Amino acid sequence: MTSNENRQPAAPEERFDIYDESGTPVGTATRSEVHSAGYWHRSFHCWLARREGARRLVLFQQRQVSKDTYPGFLDITAAGHLTAGETMEEAARELEEELGVHAPFSSLIPLGTARKEAEGTAQGIPFIDREISEVFGLLYDAPPDSLRLQGEEVAGVYEAELEQMIELFEGRQGSLTAQGVMTGRDGRNRRSSVVIRAEHFVPRPAPYYADVFRALLSRF
């Protein structure tokens, strides 16, 4: 048997619904086509927030260093693209896949819609990312070490006070220390702390982070 006969067939590439500038559906395209041509597509964002006495905290993830875009950057607690034909309710599966959090879609609080345009390179290949994202919040009643992290995607989850995070993204605070957990080689959570700055987060339009954190603070 030759080495070619031993190879498994490649998995079919994901397809996304694509949209024009106004948000009108115009067809579907593969993930690579979407990011090479810069087609508008949809994504799901969910930020977890929790209360600890008088404190109001927001949780955020650190992307694995193996990710093809923004490896090791800090990011939304859970997020993902919508595949072709997928609804936003179905996309909420990202919460369970990435964090082990099972929450009915009805428990998510809508925080609005965000649009993002970005260009960069992933593994040496240029990409154009144009996303229309529905943003949600979820009140989570347990600390980060209760989460079951998807090690292939998520390197760790940290939390910080919402008011301090607003100050960070409005330039009124240069850095802060966040507490949380990181995934060990054995798959177990280990407590960790990191000093974070605004530029450690995945680049998005300037108001995105502060506006989301302010919305969370007003609702939770």
Neighbouring CB atoms inside 10 A of 140's CB total 24
Euclidean distance between CA atoms 44 and 211, whole angstroms: 17
> Is a pLDDT exceeding 90 seen at residue 184?
no
Please give the single-letter amino acid code of residue 188.
R
Kindly report the average pLDDT of the chain as a whole number: 93
Against a cut of 0.85, is the pTM above it?
Answer: yes
pLDDT value at residue 208: 97
**What is the pLDDT averaged over residues 97-110?**
96
Neighbouring CB atoms inside 10 A of 129's CB total 18
**What is the pLDDT averaged over residues 60-69?**
94
Over residues 161-181, the pLDDT tens digits come to 999 999 999 999 999 999 999
Short-list 180, 188, 183, CA closest to 155: 183
> Is a pLDDT exceeding 50 seen at residue 2?
no
Q: How many helices (H) and strands (E) does the chain have?
A: 6, 11
Neighbouring CB atoms inside 10 A of 114's CB total 18
pLDDT value at residue 206: 79
CATH code of domain 14-219: 3.90.79.10
